[in-house]
Structure 1
């Protein structure tokens, strides 16, 4: 039986050195049917220069240099160019375990109604050395679990934290993502676009969590998580509220847990004063 094609899509930006490591980790996959789509949003030609030898040697790699900076549209461009039945985003500073795709696609082939497969992700430093997990990347379960997607979504929402994984972590079926990547309930999220995509997928079926480290999440001073800081929380309240229409947080107790988690994150910061007032109003209406 012919194996389905998996598209590994990489929105690249000014990181030729780590991008090369990321590409190599895809080329080393034990799963044979993979194409690599690179859409380059860089402000210089270093990525293009690095990629030329790869294009000469590996026909499964496609490279597209954007004429202007596309930002979020670059993610959509990657998706549109993908020919695979399955898609896995790969950040240009992250790394795949060599068996990532093979181990994840097994669940789509063997079980019904799977819409998202994720795993534990190992944190690494700038040089690739292993780091202890941070709160968001701590192992959720010690055994492989197949669970209702909404249950996994609720775990993230009630913690106000993306415990499901960064874009690198998740494999999904292309046809299941029926909105643009990062769009949820009509809103394009930019700082938590991965969570928006995961909620859309989780609302449609079952999720798989694998406790093995099948990807490596690189932490460094210039990544978005560090440079955006508290701004990353600015979209969480909207997605918590919107998620109820998608079947998440379907009891008042779960909804309250999510709102209180958000309050804990932003309490004491003046820029979130309006959000705090909004939450207090919502909580009062639930009592």
Structure 2
């Protein structure tokens, strides 16, 4: 029996894009990148944390041209980023969750590539990709150590070994929440402790708290293409003292301590070494140890030229 292309799209897994929204300035650009996604089965969940109707009106305009459902919800009270994420996960109906912050931008094939990476590699807990930092005007910014891609091509990274690595080296090369795709069931299983480890909320690097809990149970598919643009706006940078030296140090320490307390840091061997396998269909799926610190430094070129923050 022959199947038409449209029949295949109906069998693809539904992906729910969860957007915590409270800033209008870049929302139009973020929503446009959602509407232009090539993946055929999507829904967008917008949890509006703002004080007026501007975001609702912007979402309504995009809903007129969007080929998939946009489900808008005004938060009954200010929930903040974490609360909006939790609400969005609960409202979502998809098999997968794709977070998108209201000032970030997805490339048109972002979701399609991330879904394929998870579904073609059994045992994969989450997928992410290289990302590009952009400024207020959408212009690319130089890489920092965390945004340098430490591999030559798409790879599969051993999840539990990466968690152990992060107990010593909290370098978030995995990406911000807008970069990643994960299963909704796995995120729901984390309950309200989404950004907590061992009962302690992790500040500044709360996204890593999510990732380490997911990666305890599966691998990370990491794609070399820059599929997300992560905005580093001047307002965001100075808000809450983000420009103060050492402001996030406690969050990094809490994350490292939490991983150790949970017994997720390996006690033998070199913790800089993490097993990595190529994702290419033209190469054998053989895991080999990679010194991740060295790989990141090499990808950054001369390390002293690259900011550690």
Taking structure 2 as the reference length, the TM-score comes to 0.76
Q: Secondary structure of the residue that 2:150 maps to in structure 1?
A: coil
Q: Which residues of structure 2 form unaligned runs of 5+?
A: 1-7, 274-292, 294-309
Residue number among 224, 231, 247 corresponding to 1:218 in the alignment: 231
Query: Which residue in 2 is equivalent to 1:37?
Result: 45
Tell me whether 1:53 sits opposite 2:61 in the alignment: yes
Paired with 1:182 and 1:78, the residues of 2 have a C-alpha distance of 15
Contact 2:101 2:178 in 1 (8 A): yes
256 and 86 in structure 1: CA distance in 2 versus 1, 3 angstrom threshold:
closer
Query: Which residue in 1 is equivalent to 2:133?
Result: 123
1:156, distance to aligned residue in structure 2 (A): 4.0
Tell me whether 1:242 sits opposite 2:250 in the alignment: no
Deviations along 1:52-77, one digit per CA (max 9) or x if unpaired, are 22234445111111232111212211
Deviations along 1:199-220, one digit per CA (max 9) or x if unpaired, are 1111111111111101001111
Paired with 1:155 and 1:217, the residues of 2 have a C-alpha distance of 24
Contact 1:120 1:210 in 2 (8 A): yes
Aligned runs of 1:195-206 on 2, under 5 Å? 195-206=208-219
1:125, distance to aligned residue in structure 2 (A): 1.2
149 and 55 in structure 1: CA distance in 2 versus 1, 3 angstrom threshold:
same
Tell me whether 1:97 sits opposite 2:107 in the alignment: yes
Paired with 2:124 and 2:32, the residues of 1 have a C-alpha distance of 28
Contact 1:182 1:189 in 2 (8 A): yes
Q: Which residues of structure 1 form unaligned runs of 5+?
A: 262-287
Paired with 1:154 and 1:3, the residues of 2 have a C-alpha distance of 34
Query: Which residue in 2 is equivalent to 1:17?
Result: 25
Higher mean alpha-carbon deviation, 186-195 vs 23-32, is at 186-195
Q: Give the number of aligned pairs.
A: 257
Query: Which residue in 2 is equivalent to 1:163?
Result: 173
Paired with 1:7 and 1:189, the residues of 2 have a C-alpha distance of 25
Query: Which residue in 1 is equivalent to 2:17?
Result: 8
Tell me whether 1:74 sits opposite 2:84 in the alignment: yes
Tell me whether 1:132 sits opposite 2:145 in the alignment: no
Higher helix share: 1
Contact 2:202 2:251 in 1 (8 A): yes
1:6, distance to aligned residue in structure 2 (A): 0.3
Contact 1:158 1:254 in 2 (8 A): no
Tell me whether 1:62 sits opposite 2:71 in the alignment: yes
